[in-house]
Amino acid sequence: MMNFTSHSPAETEKIGAQLARMLRPGDVVAFRGGMGAGKTAFTRGMASVLSPDAEVASPTFALINDYGGKVPFWHFDMYRITTMDDLYSTGFFDYLEMGGILAVEWSENIDAALPDGTIYVDIRITGEEERAITIGSRKGGGAG
């Protein structure tokens, strides 16, 4: 379990980049934390390492952004995913087996379908610009 305090989106990005350097093909990074917590900033930081040319944006409507990269990096937004059929039809289970790295926003919505070994990134809003970020292998990290 690792705890970080971020004071700006730029700092959140740096923490994302730090995590990205430790990831291996097949890893799933699942975000927990509401609107405006900095999930996309964190993902942008990850992409700066995994897929430097990518333009990162939250895939709210596309559901999945494919950023390419030497090890493929995919960005999911599960905000509108509520059933197993929804999830199946995003191709999520296929991506799990394709040896890339997945960053999953609103992972709360698909908790039951996250694989063993998922890395949870819990981002809590603790001030206007301040965020408490917990990275660990257990659901709900330092939040509870």
Partner 1 sequence: MKILALETSAKTASAAVVTEGKVLGVTSVTAGLTHSQTVLPLADALLKGVSASLQELDGFAVSTGPGSFTGLRIGISAVKGLAQGLGKSCAGVSTLEGLAWNFQGLSYTVCPVMDARCGQVYTSLFWVNGGAPQRLWEDMAISLEALREKLQSVEGDVMLVGDGAELAFSALSGSGKVLLSPPALRYQSAASVGFAALARFAAGETVSPAELLPAYLRLPQAERELLAREAGKKG
* Contact residues for partner 1, defined by CB under 8 A: 81-85, 87-91, 93-94, 97-99, 108-113, 139-140, 144
Closest contact distance (angstroms) between CB of 91 and partner 1 is: 5
Residues 110, 67: Cα–Cα separation, whole Å: 22
Neighbours of 135 (CB within 10 A): 22
Residues 103, 56: Cα–Cα separation, whole Å: 12
Closest contact distance (angstroms) between CB of 132 and partner 1 is: 18
Residues 98, 71: Cα–Cα separation, whole Å: 10
**Which conformational region is residue 10 in: left (phi greater than 0), alpha (psi within -120 to 50 degrees), or beta?**
alpha
Closest contact distance (angstroms) between CB of 121 and partner 1 is: 15
- The neighbouring-strand residues paired with 72 are none
Pick the closer one to partner 1 by CB: 7 or 138.
Answer: 138
Pick the closer one to partner 1 by CB: 10 or 84.
Answer: 84
Pick the closer one to partner 1 by CB: 9 or 91.
Answer: 91
Closest contact distance (angstroms) between CB of 62 and partner 1 is: 15
